[in-house]
Amino acid sequence: MGMFDKPSDTAIGKFFNLGAELILWDINITNDNVVISGKVAIETTAVVSRTDAADEKFQVTSLGAALARLAQQKDMSELPAVVRYEEVKGQRGNAAKALVFVRKHNPDHIPF
């Protein structure tokens, strides 16, 4: 189990496969001192919904550094946004899970 996969029923990877698009409504740091296997991680909680069920919001968590940085840089004027759950190259060259911006969420948007 990697640092990103929090042993929790709310871990983001339990709800979304890599490549999935979702709506990000909000994201916050909920604990900046989580110790996992002797290393300190930052727990992030995001309010999300599936793109085909925008009204059904729920919370997911992550211990990934990329999502923690996203929470630290959050600008509410950019939310809600459609994002893609992807694996990207991390700061140290390792694989990291991230939410990548696709577009500003528009409830009237009809995908082709």
Q: What are the tens digits of pLDDT across the range 7-16?
A: 567 788 889 9
Query: Does the structure show a pLDDT above 90 at 110?
Result: no
pLDDT more than 90, % of the chain: 46
**19: β partners:** none
Section 44-67 average pLDDT:
92
pLDDT tens profile 70-98: 999 999 899 999 999 998 887 777 788 88
Domain ranges of the chain: 12-104
Q: How many CB atoms lie within 10 A of CB 100?
A: 12
Q: How many CB atoms lie within 10 A of CB 97?
A: 23
Query: What is the helix (H) or strand (E) element at residue 29, kind and residue range?
Result: strand 21-36
Which one is predicted more confidently, 40 or 73?
73
pLDDT at position 105: 93
pTM above 0.75, yes or no: yes
